[in-house]
Amino acid sequence: MPPPAVRDITKGRRGGYSPIVPTNRKPRVTIDHVARATGVSRQTVSRAINNKTEIDPETRQRILDAARAMGYRPSRFARGLVRQDVITIGLVIADVLNPFFPEVTAGVLQAAERRGWQVVVYNTGSEYRKELEVIDMLFDQVDVGVAFLFHNDAIAKAAGANLPFILLDTGGRAPALPGVRIDFESGTRQGLEYLISRGHRRIAMLDDEMYLSSEAPNTRRELYLKVMDERGITVDAGWIQPAHNSVEGGAAAMERLLAAHRDVTAVFAYNDMIAIGAQLRARKLGLRVPEDCAFLGFDGLSVGELVEPPLTTLHIDKRRLGEVAVEQAALLLGGTDEGEIPEAVIEPQLIVRAST
């Protein structure tokens, strides 16, 4: 037998409705309480709360006052259960602190607001475990997932989860899920051809270190190799440096690159954050930008306009990316079959500034 004494105390405290000693968790005020307190039926309370017309204005006011005084708040669960209308979208991003994602989020929030949808946000840090966990959460808590997923296992899990799902950046992987594709191939091509047209040949690449071991095809690095090859430029293996996806990561990678290959004349970075860090460090080490070394980013973050010199970049319309994803989610929820969702493509645009 378990010791009942202890248990009873606990129960007593939680369940006790002592009007003097405030209990820890206040019991919920329900529509029935309000109905009883005002001497009407709960339907009438419901009418008052929901601003229905079929109700005596006086009664309504009386009920509203009482409800407010009692601290009544309708349960969203009970409500949602009966009128299945509130739609919640689960937005999964890698890192709120990377300016790329707030812009995507802005697009998602705007599109969602237009439709009266809610947006729950999850941050994964692109960690394997978190990505898998978050899919379970989505499954339980939202009507549709819109997600940046790095790991193939997570994508596979999402695909098998019986949950409407849209990928932000389907990224050349097998189209297990509908979503938006960012045309990195076009971007990479635009960027490198531009550099080459400006006379650069020894073009280094600072890659996101996470993609070193990636199973994903069509990474920016592979596209870089492909385009360089097409142009008949032999890439020295040392030109490619892995970088942590951050300003500091870009700086460190640049330092390593310069130690080994001081002769590169341009740097093609995985993204703007890495490019900015690299450029900053290069200048600190005495190089002139772009005369000694040019820098090309990828993303088109607005911070690129603020650094010295302003960063040339392959601009992605991140806001639109978020909006389009929500539109696709709407199609999915509207009953369109997963296979029928038209592929949306975001095409990067070269923006030339002073860093090249």
Binding residues for its own copies, rule: CB under 8 A, are: 22-26, 28, 68, 71-81, 84, 86, 88, 96-97, 99, 101-103, 105-106, 109-110, 113, 118-123, 139-142, 160, 162-163, 247, 276, 280, 302-303, 305-308, 334-335, 337
Side-chain-facing half-sphere of 320: CA atoms under 13 Å: 11
Q: Name the nearest CA neighbour of 232 among 187, 193, 183, 260.
A: 193
Q: Name the nearest CA neighbour of 165 among 328, 345, 334.
A: 328
Smallest distance from the beta carbon of 261 to its own copies, in angstroms? 25
* 316 contacts 169 by C-beta, under 8 angstroms: no
Radius of gyration over every alpha carbon of the chain, rounded to an integer in angstroms: 28
Amino acid residing at 304: G
Under rule CB under 7 A, residue 88 binds DNA: no
Under rule CB under 7 A, residue 30 binds DNA: yes
Smallest distance from the beta carbon of 300 to DNA, in angstroms? 43
Residue 55 tokens, joined: 């109700």
49 binds, among DNA, its own copies, none (CB under 5 to 8 A by kind): DNA
Among 82, 116, 237, 339, binds DNA (CB under 7 A): 82
- Could you tell me the CA-to-CA distances from 290 to 270, 286, 300 in Å, in that order? 18, 12, 18
DSSP run (H or E) holding 60: helix 57-70
Give the Cα separation of 150 and 212 in Å (integer).
13
Nearest CB to DNA, comparing residues 26 and 197: 26
Smallest distance from the beta carbon of 63 to DNA, in angstroms? 9
40 binds, among its own copies, DNA, none (CB under 5 to 8 A by kind): DNA
61 binds, among DNA, its own copies, none (CB under 5 to 8 A by kind): none
Give the Cα separation of 107 and 16 in Å (integer).
48
Under rule CB under 7 A, residue 46 binds DNA: yes
41 binds, among its own copies, DNA, none (CB under 5 to 8 A by kind): DNA
User: Taking the CB of residue 225, how many other CB atoms lie within 10 A of it?
Assistant: 15
Give the Cα separation of 280 and 260 in Å (integer).
18
Nearest CB to its own copies, comparing residues 39 and 160: 160
Nearest CB to its own copies, comparing residues 125 and 175: 125
Nearest CB to its own copies, comparing residues 102 and 175: 102
43 binds, among its own copies, DNA, none (CB under 5 to 8 A by kind): DNA
Smallest distance from the beta carbon of 236 to DNA, in angstroms? 58
Q: 295 CB contacts (<8 Å, ≥6 apart)? A: 266, 267, 269, 275, 278, 279, 282, 289, 311, 312, 355, 356
DSSP, collapsed to helix, strand or coil, labels residue 81 as helix
247 binds, among DNA, its own copies, none (CB under 5 to 8 A by kind): its own copies
Smallest distance from the beta carbon of 311 to its own copies, in angstroms? 10
* SS3 labels along 131-189: HHHHHHHHHHHCCEEEECCCCHHHHHHHHCCCCCEEEECCCCCCCCCCEEEECHHHHHH
Under rule CB under 7 A, residue 23 binds DNA: no
Residue 56 tokens, joined: 């005596």
Under rule CB under 7 A, residue 10 binds DNA: no
214 binds, among its own copies, DNA, none (CB under 5 to 8 A by kind): none
Smallest distance from the beta carbon of 34 to DNA, in angstroms? 7
Nearest CB to DNA, comparing residues 74 and 125: 74
Residues that bind DNA (CB under 7 A): 28, 30-32, 39-44, 46-47, 49-50, 53-57, 59-60, 72-75, 77-79, 81-83
